[in-house]
Amino acid sequence: MLFITLAATVASWHSAQRDLQRETRTYFDFRVRQLLENMQERLAAYQQMLYGTRGLFDASDTVSRGEFRDYVAALRLERHYPGIQGVGFSLLIPAADKAKHLATIHKQGFADYNLHPDGEREIYTSIIYLEPFEGSNLRAFGYDMFTEPVRNRAMAYARDYNGIGMSGKVTLVQESDRDVQAGFLLYLPVYKTGLPHDSEQQRRENLLGWVYSPFRINDFIAGVGGERSGDLALAIYDGDGIGEQSLMYGQPVSEPESQWLNTIQRLDIGGHGWTLVVRAGSDFQSRLPHDKPRLVAGIGLLMSLLLTVLTWQLVNGRGRALLLARQMTEELRDSESRFRLMADSAPVLIWVSGTDKLCFWFNKVWLDFTGRTLDQEFGNGWAEGVHPDDLQHCLDIYIGHFDNRQPFSMEYRLKRHDGEYRWLLDNGIPRFDHEGHFAGYIGSCIDITERKFMQSALEARNADLTRFAEVSAHHLMEPTRRFASYTQRLKKRLSAYPDAAGDEEVLIDLSTLEGDALLLRSLILDIQRYLSAAEPRGEVRLLDSRAIMAEISRKMAAKLQALGATLTVEELPPVMLDRPRLADLFSLILDNTLRHGVPAESRNPLHIILGGQREGHVSRFFISDNGPGIPAKYQTRVFEIFERLGPRTADSGTGIGLAIARRIVESRHGRIGFKHLPRGGTCVVFELPDGEQRDT
């Protein structure tokens, strides 16, 4: 009996040991799959974000620096895309356009901008947008990524295949001397709007540039994270091999202690791959029960309780297996729940389809937008909301790209819950499971209705302004000039007959007409200056405002002396502007002060003070006088076109000068207004930030 019970105990101990190893391996394989799925989901989110960014360029002929900054800020990278270093745009520059490109960026206020590395080549690329545009990201401004072989391969792949391209292991230009990490980049090509890019040759000829994102590998893995990140020890190698030079993340692989708790996986993204070596981490064993073999051995020594304890052990072992299975199922559900939570929190409409082309899931933003349920949208139900004029075109693009497993981007109108059709930009990409099998498509949509309306309104407004300027110049200026000329000739002829009756009265009338003609000419010239005030008339750079003011003071010296006025120029800060408009700005405000600063009854001479200071990246100026001042209720009106406080006189001006000054300041995102002076008088204040020129 003792031999039998001992043999049964040994057999039970071996069985329990095998069960523990099997459960351990099952849990290890599950955690590895979970890690890979988390990495794939995170990379898919980054890719979707790049497709959305490309949609910004596809929806517009041009994207300004400010529009790009606002779009990236709306993505809220730190919250929705942890681990990302930024989002940028690299422009393709033919060698023939290099000088023009440099002049354009310099004109935007970046006088020190240049392409790097140096050297002559047939084509250049340059990182012109990168948000957030601060800190270490500033070092990437102007960098030609196409000159570096690893980045070049990824950019060329993305360009030729019209999809995501992932680079190999690189050191980002943002890196400093401390905490240097390996890096990688994701690229997506942007083609010129309206030009074909169906073939490889067309894609190369009509390429505009790339939207891209750089990543530091440690930050990327931290963004993948997870509640049980200590379970696994991960090493990532660039490419197919395992070597010290290709190690991107983790500790180098040496002889493993437990071969059965190691695995090598392959992760392929955008024409490039990683080799992942995954081992059990420091916290892995602590999450599994290890007492089963010891319990079996101990219980085997208790002969009297053998059957009872053995039965309990089997039931208990099965219970733990069921518990582990339930935990694994719950974690799988949690993974799906996290994806849906992230999708429902994204500021875009998201849909997912299977291999049968039918959509089976829409995020909350989509359902709130359409006002329909998931059951109503299921399958092809979503197509019921597409505008009839857009439906066939929409389906042709979707089905054609689906059959070829290609990403697509399309615009169509979708009915909102209130019955209004809204324009959407829809970007879709194919999905693949962890084994590389095609799983369907995922897509995201953004509402571009306001953008389309704004573009139409802006084009109409610009066209109206252009026509107005042309009509003003052609139909008003020339007749006004002839009218003044004829009046002068009539005065000259009549002056030859001084004895003629009524000649003196006629001469007075002609002088009045001549003055009105000259005033009308000044008015037309000021209108033209107003229309062009928002556009630079020279290079926008950091100017010495004191030197420009000294030149203006010399020109106004005679007028100041004639009025008995004095001008004091205090310290003036440098300012980011073109020289002609800065001179106009000072001259217009000073001229207005001289016209209206001294009433006829005043015994005090007019004294004007001009000064300013620099605060950070903003230049602030003030022009004050000891004149009668402007009542508070009129201080906003005087900056409107054709507004003046007093009656029109021969020297009252056209009423446009301060409106021109305001247009110059606001074109640079600045502000202009009045400051209250306790002792009376007028104080005009304005500020000009160093930012880029506002689009007009």
Compute the distance between CA of residue 210 and CA of residue 161 in angstroms, rounded to an integer: 13
Residues 360 and 462 reside in one and the same domain: no
Say if 520 falls within a structural domain.
Answer: yes
Is the pLDDT score of 319 beyond 50?
A: yes
pLDDT in the model for residue 360: 93
Tell me which DSSP letter residue 616 carries.
Answer: T
Q: Name the token pair of 203.
A: 């894609």
Average pLDDT over residues 9-25: 71
DSSP 367-407: HHHHT--HHHHTBTGGGGGB-HHHHHHHHHHHHHHHHHT--
The listed range with the strongest mean pLDDT (61-70, 497-506, 590-599) is 61-70
Say if 402 falls within a structural domain.
Answer: yes
Compute the distance between CA of residue 169 and CA of residue 182 in angstroms, rounded to an integer: 6
Say if 339 falls within a structural domain.
Answer: no
Q: What are the phi and psi torsion angles at 410 (to 5°)?
A: -150, 160
Cα dihedral across residues 546, 548, 552, 555: positive or negative: positive
For residue 239, which of 156, 172, 150, 160 has the smallest C-alpha distance?
150
Residues 602 and 685 reside in one and the same domain: yes
What stretches of 135-206 show up as alpha helix (H) in DSSP?
149-161, 200-205
| Domain range for 527 | 449-532
Say if 266 falls within a structural domain.
Answer: no
Is the pLDDT score of 311 beyond 80?
A: no
Say if 287 falls within a structural domain.
Answer: no
Q: What is the pLDDT of residues 431-483, one digit of tens each?
A: 998 888 999 999 999 999 988 888 788 777 766 765 676 566 556 666 766 77
490 pLDDT tier (thresholds 50, 70, 90): confident
Number of domains in the chain: 4
Q: What is the pLDDT of residues 87-105, one digit of tens each?
A: 999 999 999 999 999 999 9
Q: What is the pLDDT of residues 216-251, one digit of tens each?
A: 898 888 877 654 566 788 899 999 888 888 999 888
Task: Tell me the pairing of strands 247-249 and 232-238.
Answer: antiparallel
The helix or strand, by DSSP H or E, that contains position 431, with its residue range, turns out to be strand 421-432
Residues 141 and 48 reside in one and the same domain: yes
Contacts of 596 (CB under 8 A, 6+ apart): 627, 645, 646
DSSP 183-200: EEEEEEEEEPTTS--SSH
Average pLDDT over residues 340-349: 74
pLDDT in the model for residue 333: 56
Residues 520 and 547 reside in one and the same domain: no
Residues 360 and 384 reside in one and the same domain: yes
Task: Write the CATH number for 600.
Answer: 3.30.565.10
Task: Write the CATH number for 133.
Answer: 3.30.450.350
pLDDT in the model for residue 179: 78
Residues 216 and 89 reside in one and the same domain: yes
Side chain identity, residue 255: E
Tell me which DSSP letter residue 500 carries.
Answer: S
Tokens 């310099």 belong to: 106
Contacts of 253 (CB under 8 A, 6+ apart): 235, 242, 277
Under a CB-based contact definition with an 8 Å cutoff, are residues 629 and 638 in contact?
no
Compute the distance between CA of residue 645 and CA of residue 635 in angstroms, rounded to an integer: 10
Under a CB-based contact definition with an 8 Å cutoff, are residues 337 and 357 in contact?
no
For residue 92, which of 139, 53, 145, 141 has the smallest C-alpha distance?
145
pLDDT in the model for residue 607: 93
Compute the distance between CA of residue 336 and CA of residue 346 in angstroms, rounded to an integer: 16
Compute the distance between CA of residue 560 and CA of residue 606 in angstroms, rounded to an integer: 9
Question: Measured in whole angstroms, how far is the alpha carbon of residue 339 from the centre of its chain?
Answer: 24
Tokens 């030609």 belong to: 144
pLDDT in the model for residue 304: 47
pLDDT in the model for residue 688: 94
Residues 694 and 560 reside in one and the same domain: yes
Compute the distance between CA of residue 41 and CA of residue 47 in angstroms, rounded to an integer: 10
pLDDT in the model for residue 585: 93
Under a CB-based contact definition with an 8 Å cutoff, are residues 540 and 693 in contact?
yes
Residues 617 and 674 reside in one and the same domain: yes
Compute the distance between CA of residue 104 and CA of residue 539 in angstroms, rounded to an integer: 9
Residues 440 and 453 reside in one and the same domain: no
For residue 506, is it left (φ>0), alpha (ψ between -120 and 50) or beta? alpha
Q: Name the token pair of 184.
A: 């990688």
The helix or strand, by DSSP H or E, that contains position 119, with its residue range, turns out to be none
Say if 209 falls within a structural domain.
Answer: yes
Average pLDDT over residues 36-57: 91
Contacts of 480 (CB under 8 A, 6+ apart): 517, 520, 521, 524
Say if 289 falls within a structural domain.
Answer: no
Compute the distance between CA of residue 249 and CA of residue 278 in angstroms, rounded to an integer: 11
Q: What are the phi and psi torsion angles at 161 (to 5°)?
A: -105, 0
Q: What are the phi and psi torsion angles at 607 (to 5°)?
A: -125, 125
Final residue in a domain of this structure, among 511, 532, 553: 532
Tokens 């099997």 belong to: 22
Under a CB-based contact definition with an 8 Å cutoff, are residues 675 and 632 in contact?
no
Under a CB-based contact definition with an 8 Å cutoff, are residues 504 and 540 in contact?
no
Final residue in a domain of this structure, among 181, 205, 223: 223
Residues 455 and 436 reside in one and the same domain: no
Contacts of 623 (CB under 8 A, 6+ apart): 589, 590, 593, 608, 609, 610, 683, 684
pLDDT in the model for residue 696: 45
* Percentage of the chain exceeding pLDDT 70: 75
Residues 422 and 480 reside in one and the same domain: no
Compute the distance between CA of residue 263 and CA of residue 637 in angstroms, rounded to an integer: 75
pLDDT in the model for residue 174: 83
Is the pLDDT score of 306 beyond 80?
A: no
pLDDT in the model for residue 129: 95
Give helix then strand counts, H and E, for the chain.
18, 21
Residues 507 and 619 reside in one and the same domain: no
Average pLDDT over residues 209-215: 95
Q: What is the pLDDT of residues 324-340, one digit of tens each?
A: 656 655 654 555 566 66
Q: Name the token pair of 563.
A: 């009025």
Count of all residues that appear for the chain in the document: 696
Tokens 């409106």 belong to: 659
Is the pLDDT score of 522 beyond 80?
A: no
The listed range with the strongest mean pLDDT (19-23, 175-179, 186-190, 524-528) is 186-190
The listed range with the strongest mean pLDDT (158-167, 255-264, 525-534) is 158-167
Is the pLDDT score of 164 beyond 60?
A: yes
Is the pLDDT score of 271 beyond 60?
A: yes
* Percentage of the chain exceeding pLDDT 90: 47
Compute the distance between CA of residue 290 and CA of residue 304 in angstroms, rounded to an integer: 25
Task: Write the CATH number for 358.
Answer: 3.30.450.20
Is the pLDDT score of 167 beyond 90?
A: yes
pLDDT in the model for residue 501: 44
Compute the distance between CA of residue 269 and CA of residue 42 in angstroms, rounded to an integer: 12
Final residue in a domain of this structure, among 223, 251, 273: 223
Say if 472 falls within a structural domain.
Answer: yes
Contacts of 564 (CB under 8 A, 6+ apart): 605, 606
Is the pLDDT score of 647 beyond 50?
A: yes
User: How many other β-carbons are positioned within 10 Å of the β-carbon of residue 639?
Assistant: 20
Q: What angle do CA 83, 433, 151 make, to 5 degrees?
A: 45
